[in-house]
Each structure stands twice: as C-alpha cells, then as structure tokens.
Amino acid sequence: MHTPELTFSSKYTFKHALKYHDKHRNTLGHRLSNWREQRMAARALALAGDPAIVLDLPCGTGRFWPLLARQEARTILAADNSEAMLSVAREVNPPELLARVKTFPCSAFDIPMEDTSVDLIFCMRLLHHITRPEDRVAMLKEFHRVTRDTVVVSLWVDGNYKALQRRKLEARRTHKTYQNRIVLERAVVEREFADAGFVIASHIDFLKFYAMWRVYVLKKSAP
C-alpha cells in the first residue's frame, strides 16, 4: 500500500512531542479546550456503544488514554506514526495506565492488523492535517478495513464563525506557503465518508456555529 508523505509528521522529534504533550495543559484556554474535547470524545464513545476493543490512532502522547481506560474491560491499542510521540507517552503516563495500553508504531494509511480487528478506531486531530482528498479517502478506506463497526474522527469544518475568520486570514496572505491544517467543507468530507464506505451516525460540535472542531461517529455501511 502506498503511504503518503505528510509534511507535518516529520517535525515530531522527542523535544517537539514533549512540547505537544505540555501544550494541552500550559494555559487556562488549553485546559478548557482539552476538557471540552474530552467531553466530546466521551459522548462519541457512548454513541458508539462503549466499544470493547479500541484502536487509538494517532495516539500522540496518550491524551485520551485515561478516558478510554474508564471502561475496565476495554482492550486499548494505541499507535502513532511518530516513535517520539510513543516514547513521550511511555514517559509521562503512570504505570497502571500504561499496563492497560498496547502501543506500536504505524501509519494510519497502512495498519498492520487483520480485517475487522477492532470495534472502533478513535482518530483525533489527524484528518484536518490531510490536504489531498485522495489521501483522506485512502486513510478512511484503511479504517473501514480494520474496524468491525465504528470510527470516531475529529476535524475542522466550515459553517461557523472561526472557519470564516480563518478563510479571511488565508485570503489576505500574500505569500502562499504549505498549510498543514485545513478547514474542510462539510459536504465534501461527508461525501468522502460515503466513498470510503461509512454512514454518519452522529456528530458533536465543539461549540456550534462558533468553533471549527467537529467529531463524527461513523458506522460501516451495510454491504
């Protein structure tokens, strides 16, 4: 399988991964944002039926592991394309939590698992980095292969105040440089979900009509 080279992924040295871990805790605004994202993720897991086997991909430094571990019987698999992220995750999380999580490196485009291996793939803060439609669909099709039932995915969508502000900012830029985060049109990404074999079970907005973050709960389409 062809694995796209994502420009943003090369920046994750150990130092940068540690900084990434710290940023969700270093200001009141980041702590409030993290609190809201955790609430959104908990709601998505409930809507997915509190799945027993979850793959957290990309897992980063394990920000959502305490949430995933709330269900005592849950099997938690966690993968990331960055070895640095996984190394930081093993350093900053307590041993009792690490004992619940099996980690391994892999790309979201090429997951070393059999078909229908997990109940749910939990994918936070990745899709808004993937600028090419064909890459997004390829990743979603790989998710479709590996999950038995559900995918939870977060991304930036249009139709809100912050997305409008970002569009205006981009339009004013005189020098166009590579953008590693993009706002996706809801109609476009929802069509891509369908192209990959999913139907939308639900969605959860960070703050409706204001913020860009949206979490989708996707179910595999009937054959």
Q: At what angle do helices 186-195 and 133-146 cross, to 10 degrees?
A: 40
Domain ranges of the chain: 10-220
- Tokens coding 61: 């430094």
Is the sign of the CA dihedral 171, 161, 184, 42 positive or negative?
A: positive
pLDDT tens for each residue of 166-220 = 888 777 765 555 567 899 999 999 999 999 999 999 999 999 999 999 999 999 9
**Those residues with Cβ within 8 angstroms of residue 207's Cβ, 6 or more apart along the chain or in another chain:** 36
Select the CATH number that applies to the domain covering 10-220 from these four: 3.40.50.150, 3.20.20.20, 3.80.10.10, 3.40.710.10. Answer: 3.40.50.150
Give the pLDDT confidence score for residue 24 in this predicted structure: 77
Name the pTM for this structure.
0.90
Tell the burial category of 29 from Cβ atoms under 10 Å away from its Cβ (0-12, 13-18, 19+).
Answer: exposed
Residues in the chain with pLDDT values less than 50: none
